[in-house]
Structure 1
Amino acid sequence: MSTLFARTPTPDPSATVTVEPPLEQAQSACESGATVCTWVADTTGSSTFGLWAETLYRTPLRILIVLLAGWALRSLIHRAIGKVEAAVVEGDQTMTGLSRRMARAAGMLDASPLAQERRVQRARTIGSVLRSLTTFLIWSVAALMVLAELGINIAPLLASAGIAGVALGFGAQSLVKDFLSGLFMILEDQYGVGDVVDLGDATGTVEAVGLRATRLRAVDGTVWYVPNGQVTRVGNQSQGWARAVLDVSVPYGESLAKATAVLTEVGERIYADPDWSQVIMEEPQVWGVEAMSAEAVVLRLVVKTKPLEQWRTARELRLRIRNAFAEAGIENPYPHQNIIVKDAGAGKALPDQADAGRDADVKTPPHGEAKVSREYAGDEEKPH
């Protein structure tokens, strides 16, 4: 039998694909009198059939072991990630040991009720990313091991993969940038699903956060897909707490102290309202005069609310302030209009001037121009 299975010449090692390792192992087994090789060779009368039978018997078994080991390792890691994720979502009461320390290090355990929803979003997002990464790494290693078992020299493949990686790094810089930006956005918890964010060119509610792009839904229903690498700034309007800011205009003829007292009373009433006590976090404050325009003085009222409740609170406050001003007799500021009539003639009276009951205050400036100043409140004209 030893003459039948003489060692064949060693193939050229520079070849990328070769069957040398499995055949050498099978030849060694056949030379040592392996059962499968000997039985097939004696039955068929062909040493080649015996050699290939031994090769097929050994290689598929090892490949199967590699695949089963990869599947088992992936399942164990995914199960561990799922347990940590579930514990973070449910709270730290069920956490012990390593799980608690990992969650606290990631900043996922916050005792405040406002952080609960954020914790759930972040835990699920990070869990999904970790499962994807572990799946990719495990099956990549398993694929290389299977190729080695098939007798394929993986060293040239790894070298080629390195060269291809460098080429892809230059050719797909935007994709790499998107991936890295998305990874840091998720790890830093800049925003999550359900947040209302301003990403510069697009503003809306986050519907999905991926490693390459973020999907937003604008208030008009438009869906925006924003590559993570193009996000240069993030304005999160729903993280932690929010603030409703109302600028209320008060006419110059009204008392600012009276208007401030009315605004303060409106804020106290809505803060004491049971329907709004769970929404408003702090008592509303009147910061005072914010600006002065040609028609009115602007007072600013601010209210600290729960995330995403600032707009609903602002609408309710506007309605209450409008009714409170009407009850207190504070008028809304009305616009002014200045009319300049060209070539009216110096010293000439306008037709409106002839009627003493008219409300126009006519001034005759030099150079033949007549200036008429009127103020309007609704459809009525008021004297200036």
Structure 2
Amino acid sequence: MTPVISTLRTAAPTAVTPTPAPTPSPSATNTESAVEDTIKAAADAGSSFWEWFTGWPLHILIILVVGLLVLALLRRVIGHVTERIATGSGTTTTEGGPAWRRYLQRTPFVEDAIAMANPLASQRRAQRARTVGSVLRSTANIVVGTIIALMILAELQVNVGPLVASAGVVGIALGFGAQALVKDFISGIFLLVEDQFGVGDVVDLGSGATGTVEEVQLRVTQVRAFDGTLWYVRNGEILRAGNMTQQWSRAVAEVRVPLEADVDTVRVALGRAADDVQADPELSPLLLEAPSVRGVDAVNDITMSFTLHAQTRPGDQWEVSRELRRRAQEELRAAGVLVPSADAEPAVLEQETEA
């Protein structure tokens, strides 16, 4: 056993020395430095971009967003209001509430009711409202767009003073060169806003342009004459406009009888004709007042002139006038005022051409 123990003692392990840590290779050091440089460069680029973006680009973006929102809101409000006017929709009248609300919800006036009786009143109102709405939307586009452009140029450090001055000079030059066109458009806007006439009205615009209005545009008005001629009248050239079918009309029937006829007999006969027209169930709804007879209006060498007249709904005066003349002729013949004879010239009933 002794040799074994001495052998084990001899073979006892000695102290273990620590192994040194491996030294990083040059390639790994370069990779770590590149990553750190990339991160630092990205941080610097992000900081620089944010600093640049919070300058004029962000201001321009805010200007565009706010300007477009304002423009969209204006266009929506204009479109909503004009469409309500065009369709004639509204709220029902309610009792109570503020005085201004009751005033806005009041019932239409008599002349409004008369105008609404015209079957083309809705089309006329719709065309006028939509045309004015189109003008307002175009104006909003130009005004808001110009303000946005000037604010963006100011953010880009562009001197807008010379641009505004140049635009003013160009506008003046265009105004002088196209003053007739500008005059037509401005006159068309006032024609629509003031409701001087509309689709379905019978008008006299001068220079032979008399007939029914078929379309009212900003530059021209189309009028269809009784013989079928379609007149195109520039709005800037309309110096006067006679509307024969607005709110109410008057039927006028001039009757001429022989000079030797008895005035009282003629007046009684014409009065019966007026009463017959008023009692007619088809014509009475067209009347706003009872027909009446004036006295002798004119006297010439062979005839005397009497006039029957009545206030009617707009556009119905010609039908009432024709019926007044027909009934007057029947009553005058029944009274013996009109006697067909070779020696006595019969009465002449003045004919009125419907526009």
TM-score, scaled to structure 2: 0.68
Task: Report the Cα offset of residue 179 of structure 1.
Answer: 2.7
What do the CA deviations read for 1:342-373 (whole angstroms, capped 9, x no partner)?
xxxxxxxxxxxxxxxxxxxxxxxxxxxxxxxx
CA contact (8 A) 1:250 1:332 kept: no
Q: For 2:109, what is the secondary structure of its paired residue?
A: coil
Partners of 2:43 and 2:142 lie apart in 1 by 35
**Identity value in percent:** 38
Q: 1:139 to 1:170 in 2, by over 3 A?
A: closer
Report the CA distance between 1:38 and its aligned residue.
Answer: 6.7
Equivalent residue letter for 2:77: I
Contact 2:259–2:301 (CA under 8 A) maintained in structure 1: no
Say whether the 8 Å CA contact 2:132–2:193 is kept in structure 1: no
- Alignment correspondent of 1:302: 309
In structure 2, which of residues 227, 233, 240 is the aligned counterpart of residue 226 of structure 1? 233
The one-letter amino acid paired with 1:114 is I
Alignment of 1:260-275 (within 5 A): 260-275=267-282
Q: Which has the higher strand share?
A: 1
Aligned 1:31-50 pairs, distance under 5 A: 33=44, 35=46
Aligned to 1:138: 141
Q: Secondary structure at the match of 1:291?
A: strand
SS class of match (1:246): strand
Partner residue in 2 for 1:324: 331
Distance 1:102 1:79, change over 3 A: farther
Q: Find the aligned partners of 2:68 and 2:186 in 1 and give their Cα distance.
A: 32
Aligned partner of 1:171 in structure 2 is 177
Relative contact order: is structure 1 or structure 2 higher (C-alpha 8 Å, sep ≥ 6)? 2
Question: How far has the Cα of 1:313 moved from its partner?
Answer: 1.1
Letter in 1 for 2:65: I
- Distance, in Å, in 2 between the alignment partners of 1:74 and 1:165 is 25
1:252-293 CA-to-partner distances (Å, cap 9, x unmatched) read: 332221111111001001101111111011111110101112
Q: State how far apart, in whole Å, the 1-side matches of 2:80 and 2:334 are.
A: 63
- Whether 2:187 is the aligned partner of 1:181: answer yes
User: Offset of 1:99 from its aligned partner?
Assistant: 8.2
- Any unmatched runs of 5+ in structure 1? 1-29, 40-50, 336-374, 379-384
Encode CA deviations 1:62-97: one digit per residue, 9 max, x unaligned.
Answer: 68636742552244323442365157x246736998
Indicate the SS of the match to 1:93: coil
**Structure 1 residues 253 and 143, CA gap change in structure 2 (3 angstroms):** closer
- 1:128 alignment partner AA: T
CA–CA separation in structure 1 for the residues paired with 2:190 and 2:341: 51
- Name the counterpart of 2:168: 162
The residue matched to 1:163 in structure 2 has which SS? helix
Aligned residue number for residue 77 of structure 2: 77
Higher mean C-alpha displacement, 281-290 vs 170-179: 170-179
TM-score (norm 1): 0.63
Q: Does 1:314 align with 2:321?
A: yes
Q: CA deviation at 1:102?
A: 7.6
Question: In 2, distance between residues paired with 1:195 and 1:285?
Answer: 26
Say which structure is richer in helix: 2
Q: Is the 8 A contact 1:84 1:99 kept in 2?
A: no
Deviations 1:133-188 (A, max 9, x none): 23332355236525764859444332221111111222222223223322333332
Contact conserved, 1:213 with 1:225, CA < 8 A, in 2?
A: yes
Q: 1:78 to 1:265 in 2, by over 3 A?
A: same
- Check whether the contact 1:92–1:109 (CA below 8 A) recurs between aligned residues: no
Contact 1:66-1:145 at 8 Å conserved across structures: no
Is 1:115 the counterpart of 2:122? The answer is: no
Structure 2: give runs of 5+ residues left out of the alignment: 1-40, 347-355
Cα distance between partner residues in 1 of 2:47 and 2:322: 84
Q: CA deviation at 1:238?
A: 0.8
Which residue of structure 1 aligns with residue 248 of structure 2?
A: 241
Aligned length: 294
Q: Is the 8 A contact 2:210 2:225 kept in 1?
A: yes
Deviation, structure 1 residue 132:
2.3
